[in-house]
Amino acid sequence: MRLTVSTCQAIQATTMHLNTRYSTPVLLAVLLALAGCQNIPSASRSASTATHAAASTGTDATRVVQPVAIYLAQSAPGDRLVAVPVPDGTVYLHARPILAREDLTEAAALSDRQGGHFVGLRLTPAGAERLSAVSRQNIGNLLALVIGRELVAAPRISSVLDRGILAFEVPSAEAATDIAARIRGDVPQ
């Protein structure tokens, strides 16, 4: 018997159809068994994995995320206050911050019409509530913005801060841009 090309194609198609018909249920059973063994990462775990993956690459995706905190401070020494030297004297910070990075939703470089430069911060509702209560009781004291271990700004509280935003004056537009980027964690390593 002699096989032609069309006969060979018909045999191959029949064999393939038979193999698929019998192997499909087996393949599905194996895939279902493997899927049952797979761990599905939680949201926090996948976020930390993504952060770790970005940190382990040598690309611009690597970021330096420094601690950010806002402390109540004053210009006079007191019990349990931390002395921080500044160019024109010493500022005394309370040991516990009143706000941290988790209380911030946005950081941006800003400027006004008079040429002043600022770092603007928008707070979470919980952070805004805490700041309002603290500022109400501490008019005349200072708010110290600390990034890493650096005191960046320490303006005096002149009124109740109840709008959920803060603006820290800084010396230049470049400083405002740099500080806002550091707060957001946008600084390449």
pLDDT at 163: 97
Considering only residues 112 and 189, tell me which one the structure prediction assigns the higher pLDDT: 112
pLDDT at 150 over 70: yes
3-state DSSP call for residue 63?
A: strand
**Which pLDDT belongs to residue 4?**
45
pLDDT tens for each residue of 31-55: 333 333 333 333 333 333 333 333 4
User: Which pLDDT band, with edges at 50, 70 and 90, does 65 fall under?
Assistant: confident
Q: Can you give the pLDDT at residue 49? A: 35
Distance in angstroms (rounded) separating the CA atoms of residues 86 and 84? 6
The pLDDT confidence band at residue 187, using thresholds 50, 70 and 90, is: confident
Query: Taking the domains of the chain in order of start, what are their residue ranges?
Result: 1-37, 65-188
Tell how far CA 134 is from the center of its chain.
25
Tell me the one-letter amino acid at 135.
S
Which of residues 15 and 129 earns the better pLDDT score?
129
Residue from 155, 52, 59, 170 nearest 108 by CA: 170
Residue 91: pLDDT over 90: yes
pLDDT over 50 at 184, yes or no? yes
Kindly indicate the confidence band of residue 73, based on its pLDDT and cuts at 50, 70 and 90.
very high
Q: What's the pLDDT tens digit per position in 3-31? A: 444 444 444 444 444 444 444 444 444 33
- Specify the length of the chain in residues: 189
CATH code of the domain occupying 65-188: 3.30.1360.200
Q: What is the pLDDT of residue 188?
A: 63
Give the model's pLDDT for residue 139. Answer: 98
